[in-house]
Amino acid sequence: MRVAPAKVPTEDQRLQAELIRAIDDYLAQHNKQPKPFIWTAKAADILENLKRARAALPSLDKAASA
Protein backbone atom coordinates (compact mmCIF):
# COMPACT_ATOMS: atom_id res chain seq x y z
CA MET A 1 0.00 0.00 0.00
CA ARG A 2 1.38 3.39 -1.01
CA VAL A 3 1.30 6.38 1.27
CA ALA A 4 0.37 9.62 -0.47
CA PRO A 5 2.92 12.41 -0.16
CA ALA A 6 2.07 15.29 2.17
CA LYS A 7 -0.11 17.84 0.45
CA VAL A 8 1.24 21.30 -0.13
CA PRO A 9 -1.41 23.89 0.79
CA THR A 10 -3.08 25.25 -2.30
CA GLU A 11 -3.95 28.88 -2.92
CA ASP A 12 -7.59 28.13 -2.06
CA GLN A 13 -6.58 26.67 1.30
CA ARG A 14 -4.41 29.70 2.01
CA LEU A 15 -7.26 32.06 1.14
CA GLN A 16 -9.66 30.05 3.27
CA ALA A 17 -7.32 30.26 6.26
CA GLU A 18 -6.97 34.02 5.66
CA LEU A 19 -10.76 34.42 5.58
CA ILE A 20 -11.18 32.44 8.80
CA ARG A 21 -8.57 34.63 10.51
CA ALA A 22 -10.28 37.79 9.25
CA ILE A 23 -13.68 36.61 10.52
CA ASP A 24 -12.20 35.64 13.89
CA ASP A 25 -10.49 39.04 14.16
CA TYR A 26 -13.73 40.85 13.29
CA LEU A 27 -15.73 38.88 15.86
CA ALA A 28 -13.13 39.42 18.57
CA GLN A 29 -13.18 43.18 17.90
CA HIS A 30 -16.99 43.36 17.61
CA ASN A 31 -17.54 41.35 20.80
CA LYS A 32 -15.48 43.78 22.89
CA GLN A 33 -18.53 46.07 22.99
CA PRO A 34 -21.52 43.88 22.12
CA LYS A 35 -24.97 45.40 21.62
CA PRO A 36 -28.17 43.52 22.36
CA PHE A 37 -30.25 42.31 19.44
CA ILE A 38 -33.53 44.19 19.29
CA TRP A 39 -36.33 42.45 17.41
CA THR A 40 -38.20 45.01 15.32
CA ALA A 41 -40.46 42.89 13.10
CA LYS A 42 -44.03 42.29 14.17
CA ALA A 43 -45.19 38.67 14.41
CA ALA A 44 -48.12 39.41 12.08
CA ASP A 45 -45.71 40.72 9.41
CA ILE A 46 -43.52 37.62 9.67
CA LEU A 47 -46.54 35.31 9.37
CA GLU A 48 -47.80 37.28 6.35
CA ASN A 49 -44.39 36.92 4.68
CA LEU A 50 -44.47 33.17 5.32
CA LYS A 51 -47.95 32.93 3.82
CA ARG A 52 -46.79 34.77 0.67
CA ALA A 53 -43.66 32.61 0.40
CA ARG A 54 -45.67 29.40 0.67
CA ALA A 55 -48.07 30.60 -2.02
CA ALA A 56 -45.17 31.50 -4.33
CA LEU A 57 -43.19 28.31 -3.60
CA PRO A 58 -45.67 25.46 -3.16
CA SER A 59 -42.95 22.80 -3.42
CA LEU A 60 -41.34 24.07 -0.20
CA ASP A 61 -44.64 23.83 1.64
CA LYS A 62 -45.01 20.16 0.61
CA ALA A 63 -41.43 19.34 1.60
CA ALA A 64 -41.88 20.92 5.05
CA SER A 65 -45.00 18.89 5.82
CA ALA A 66 -43.49 15.58 4.68
The Cα 17–Cα 64 span in angstroms is 36
Low-confidence ranges of the chain (pLDDT < 70): 1-9, 60-66
Q: Which domain holds residue 61?
A: 11-65
pTM for the model: 0.43
The reply to whether 5 falls in a domain is no
Q: What is the pLDDT of residue 40?
A: 93
Please give the helix or strand (H or E) that residue 64 lies within, else none: helix 58-65
The reply to whether 40 falls in a domain is yes
Sign, CA dihedral 39-43-44-48, equals positive
Q: What is the pLDDT of residue 18?
A: 94
The reply to whether 52 falls in a domain is yes
Q: What is the pLDDT of residue 11?
A: 83
The reply to whether 53 falls in a domain is yes
Q: Are 53 and 60 in contact (CB under 8 A)?
A: yes
Total domains in the chain come to 1
Q: What is the pLDDT of residue 57?
A: 85
The reply to whether 50 falls in a domain is yes
